[in-house]
Structure 1
């Protein structure tokens, strides 16, 4: 087997299913998910029962489940978008919690090298903080969150780099032109007291530099906390 790098392709195809659920934020079923990140994870995953073994530790990754949500406090509406590589079943959601019938969209799109796109993503922007041990030698860094827009743009610089660096999503974007909105941290009570997830919403435009890598990023998500509604990249 050759160790030479694989040639970059000019196009790559992305196929997935998107579910759009508009929910009543005042309904207890929905309200619990808004105050408990683990409960939101369960709500998302409950649409995909039966596709994997119940005790599978990587069920979400196997099914390619990613999600993002936005809350309108004035209208008390929660819009939840869920992406997967398998078909969902949302019949378990209480009818009283639904503002509308869930919308299912099949996404089948081919991306091309050099193509420009608008995008939106909610991410968990973190970095590894340098640490030294008692002997003065470097030890594994501690992951901490960026809490200000300037730090988030540094995170963007790593992921929207030249398309070849580690962590790159196969697309470039000027971090200075990306709109960054810091979102409230989400957490979970016992037994997940240590779970605190910093979030930032990104909006902007990008240029595809490696379609195959870009499709992988769209399929698998970007950054950490992908089980908790971070990392899904939506394009238009």
Structure 2
């Protein structure tokens, strides 16, 4: 497995066009793997996420079985002149050594962009329909419901740091909610998604399960920038 990071040059029109549609970013990411065919049903899972840290700092993270070639992204939405000087314009790291360090009981900072949904019916007798969670309370609850199966536990806050609102007892924040509406290539209808980003701290409870989350994703809409969790050392 590999972890890749690429920074968009947001001053370029090509970068702005790509960032306007998750479908465009998905297509660009999948084009980074010459051995993967779009019509291949056995295509390995490729996860990606956009971190919009500031207007001029938008980072693309990709977790993939193979090593990507992002030359086309550098030419369209990066810094081609800088890349020509000897740096490729992106960084790719072998992921296995990090994954092997995930011992039970270790604690990490985490970030996850996800599509928190549930199934509900609006009228009796109608089939259930996938519906987005729209409040931070329910969005956090969605994540908490998946921590046991995911091999992690969201850390709690010290008693003197807790407030009265739901969720304040956890070291996790829900931010950057986005309502996305975009067309899918080759499809008549449009796709609508609600995404949020979680930042917080977790403890590893089942290393193998958490490795599956980090390499296979969490939740729905993985093709559109959701599901990728990354970890970083505390401090």
User: Would you say same fold, with TM above 0.5?
Assistant: yes
In 2: Cα distance, 1:146 partner to 1:140 partner? 18
Which sections of structure 1, spanning at least 5 residues, go unmatched? 1-15
Query: Paired residue for 1:212, among 205, 208, 219?
Result: 208
In 2: Cα distance, 1:28 partner to 1:154 partner? 38
Query: Which residue in the other structure is 1:4 paired with?
Result: none
Normalising by the residue count of structure 1, what TM-score does the alignment of the two structures yield?
Answer: 0.79
SS of match in other structure, 1:204: strand
Deviations 1:130-174 (A, max 9, x none): 4666xx4xx6421111111111111012112xx2xxxx2111115
Return the structure number with greater strand share: 1
Query: Which residue in the other structure is 1:24 paired with?
Result: 9
Aligned length: 206
Are 1:235 and 2:223 matched, yes or no? no
The 5 Å alignment of 1:52-201 reads: 52-59=36-43, 62=44, 64-71=45-52, 74-75=55-56, 77-95=57-75, 97-99=77-79, 101-107=89-95, 108-109=97-98, 110=100, 111-130=102-121, 136=125, 140-160=127-147, 163=148, 168-173=149-154, 174=156, 176-177=169-170, 178-189=172-183, 191=187, 193-201=189-197
Which sections of structure 2, spanning at least 5 residues, go unmatched? 83-88, 157-166
Q: Structure 1's 172 and 48: CA in aligned 2 closer, same or farther, altered over 3 A? A: same
Deviations 1:40-65 (A, max 9, x none): 11011111122x33421352xx1x31
The Cα shift of 1:182 comes to 3.5
In 2: Cα distance, 1:39 partner to 1:155 partner? 28
Q: Structure 1's 26 and 58: CA in aligned 2 closer, same or farther, altered over 3 A? A: farther
The Cα shift of 1:195 comes to 0.5
Normalising by the residue count of structure 2, what TM-score does the alignment of the two structures yield?
Answer: 0.79
In 2: Cα distance, 1:54 partner to 1:81 partner? 20
Q: Structure 1's 147 and 182: CA in aligned 2 closer, same or farther, altered over 3 A? A: farther
